[in-house]
Amino acid sequence: MTELLKKRLFIKTYGCQMNVHDSERMADVLRPLGYALTDRPDHADLVVLNTCHIREKATEKVYSELGRVKVLKAARAEQGSTMIVAVAGCVAQAEGAEIMNRQTAVDLVIGPQSYHRLPELIARAHRSRGERLAADFEAEEKFDLLPMDRRPDGVTAFLTVQEGCDRFCTFCVVPYTRGAEFSRPAAAIEAEARRLVDKGVREITLLGQNVNAYHNDDGGGLAGLIRRLARIPGLARLRYTTSHPADMDEALIAAHGEVEVLMPYLHLPVQSGSDRILKAMNRAHTVDSYRRTIDRVRAARPDIALSCDFIVGFPGETDADFEASMTLIRDVGYASAFSFKYSRRPGTPAAAMAGQVDDAVKSERLAELQALLEAQQRRFNAGQIGRALPVLFEKPGRHSGQIIGRSPYLQAVHCQGSVDLIGRIESVRIFDSAHNSLTGLRTPVVADEPAGEIA
């Protein structure tokens, strides 16, 4: 990786006033990625030719300009610098692939319909050169952080198996700040998991920004990794987070039905229940494909607890779009969920979108959505009353003689017991529930349901 440097952008605009306007827009969306305009093409890290089709021989003019740019690009390469060359505008729209074939100096071609994807395309072009952008992103927000600090050490641990993301959801900074998707070798992960287990860890959560995009050197995806880790003696529970619906493959779904140590809990963010909004978010899945994935997961593991992320007030979200999210929530039924007001992150395509939603509207929608999700979570928790659940004890409770553990469904479970129980999995008969926790009594009776192992 090279140093994070400010970048210079040269735009040559052909044709009409519309193109002049588009060039300004392109400069605007690229500014947060560290690009400042220059009038010297020979100094530019990025050259954009914003073309026009109207006048005769326009295409030929573009090719001859590209010939000159190619010379500049070669000169920069000799000095050890790089130059990205993009062709935008109507010629790009009309000629597309032809331009890339005829002029090898061109790195990307982008038509006027796709300018909102420019940050993604430029980030990808830099990545292919092993470079990072001096992106003007604010300090990391809650969205960008993996839940590293949620459960420190002890009997449960996080293990990062994958970093970065190539999905480029239009609201998200991760593909810019964390860079390209990278999966760690399976052997290194297994060695780390074994070390954790030797130190007394009984439950491991596999972590990644897009963890189910994990692909390993022996050809298996996340399912292969889970099956490999499931063989480690002493490792009683496995979880993974966070997943993308489009990366939920059949092998992973099957693992939920077959791998005993894989806990019946899945955090699978959908973000919105409206196809129109999902498209604007560049989510690569529809509401229907998400519903079908959920159906398949439930067929494999009927008792699975589902968790989700939702965004309200994404640019252009109407009352009807919001209602579609509410309908989806009602239909699916979640055990827990996270929900956020859309927050404008400079540099991401959605920040430049029209139709930004008023904060008061976002707050109203968030309150309504959270009330529904909270009711579902309470219902899910209340549904455990009377059941005996295998609980992995993690830490002493606030009151003396109290101990806290987790159910297979990631619920906190409070009960009476000594700290000697920490690290053990025992059956707990649940007699009370609240929004965020369950209360029960340890029982000598073996759990009457299939989730997890009884130590």
Of 384, 382, 380, 389, nearest to 450 (Cα)?
389
Helix (H) or strand (E) holding 87: strand 84-88
What residues between 299 and 328 interact with ligand 5AD by CB under 6 A?
Answer: 309, 311
CA distances from 179 to 37, 134, 163, 291 (A): 24, 12, 8, 29
CA angle centred on 218, ends 157 and 145, rounded to 5°:
35
Considering beta carbons, is residue 190 or 309 the nearer one to ligand 5AD? 309
Q: How near is the Cβ of 370 to ligand SF4 at its closest, in Å?
A: 20
Q: Does residue 168 belong to the site contacting ligand SF4 (CB under 6 A)?
A: yes
339 vs 362: CA distance, rounded Å:
11
If contact means CB under 5 to 8 A according to the sort of partner, which of ligand 5AD, ligand SF4, none does residue 46 touch? Answer: none
Q: Does residue 167 belong to the site contacting ligand SF4 (CB under 6 A)?
A: yes
If contact means CB under 5 to 8 A according to the sort of partner, which of ligand 5AD, ligand SF4, none does residue 273 touch? Answer: none
247 vs 167: CA distance, rounded Å:
10
Of 170, 134, 132, 118, nearest to 277 (Cα)?
170
Q: How near is the Cβ of 348 to ligand 5AD at its closest, in Å?
A: 7
Q: For the chain, how big is the Rg over CA atoms in Å? A: 26
Six-digit token pair at 350?
A: 């959605």
With 0-12 CB in 10 A as exposed, 13-18 as middle and 19+ as buried, what is 374?
middle
Q: Does residue 340 belong to the site contacting ligand 5AD (CB under 6 A)?
A: yes
Considering beta carbons, is residue 14 or 342 the nearer one to ligand 5AD? 342
If contact means CB under 5 to 8 A according to the sort of partner, which of ligand SF4, ligand 5AD, none does residue 301 touch? Answer: none
Q: Does residue 241 belong to the site contacting ligand SF4 (CB under 6 A)?
A: no
Site mask, ligand 5AD, residues 137-176, x = CB under 6 A? ------x---------------------------xx----
Q: How near is the Cβ of 345 to ligand SF4 at its closest, in Å?
A: 10
**What residue type is 345 in one-letter code?**
R
Considering beta carbons, is residue 167 or 365 the nearer one to ligand SF4? 167
Q: Are residues 407 and 218 in contact, defined by beta-carbon separation less than 8 angstroms?
A: no
Out of 165, 253, 305, 335, point to the residue binding ligand SF4 (CB under 6 A).
165
Considering beta carbons, is residue 275 or 309 the nearer one to ligand 5AD? 309
Backbone angles phi, psi at 325, to 5 degrees: -65, -40
Q: Does residue 342 belong to the site contacting ligand 5AD (CB under 6 A)?
A: yes
Backbone angles phi, psi at 395, to 5 degrees: -160, 160
Site size for ligand SF4 (CB under 6 A): 10
Q: Point out which span in 7-15, 274-282, 335-343, 388-396 binds ligand 5AD (CB under 6 A).
A: 335-343
Indicate the Cα dihedral angle 25, 31, 36, 37, nearest 10°: 0
Q: How near is the Cβ of 170 to ligand 5AD at its closest, in Å?
A: 9
Q: Which residue has the tokens 């604010």?
A: 138
With 0-12 CB in 10 A as exposed, 13-18 as middle and 19+ as buried, what is 148?
exposed
Helix (H, G, I), strand (E, B) or coil at 168: coil
What residues between 242 and 261 interact with ligand SF4 by CB under 6 A?
Answer: 244
Considering beta carbons, is residue 102 or 150 the nearer one to ligand SF4? 150
Q: Are residues 264 and 298 in contact, defined by beta-carbon separation less than 8 angstroms?
A: no
Q: How near is the Cβ of 371 to ligand 5AD at its closest, in Å?
A: 18
If contact means CB under 5 to 8 A according to the sort of partner, which of ligand SF4, ligand 5AD, none does residue 225 touch? Answer: none
Q: Does residue 271 belong to the site contacting ligand 5AD (CB under 6 A)?
A: yes
Considering beta carbons, is residue 269 or 440 the nearer one to ligand SF4? 269
Site size for ligand 5AD (CB under 6 A): 11
Helix (H) or strand (E) holding 240: strand 237-241
Site mask, ligand SF4, residues 170-209, x = CB under 6 A? --x-xx---------------------------------x
End-to-end CA, the chain: 47
Out of 205, 210, 272, 274, point to the residue binding ligand SF4 (CB under 6 A).
210
Q: Are residues 163 and 178 in contact, defined by beta-carbon separation less than 8 angstroms?
A: yes
Q: Does residue 290 belong to the site contacting ligand SF4 (CB under 6 A)?
A: no
CA angle centred on 428, ends 422 and 432, rounded to 5°:
115
CA distances from 36 to 31, 119, 175, 208, 265 (A): 6, 14, 21, 33, 46
In the complex, the residues that contact ligand 5AD under the rule CB under 6 A are 143, 171-172, 269, 271, 309, 311, 340, 342-343, 345
| Residue ranges that bind ligand SF4, judged by CB under 6 A | 165, 167-169, 172, 174-175, 209-210, 244
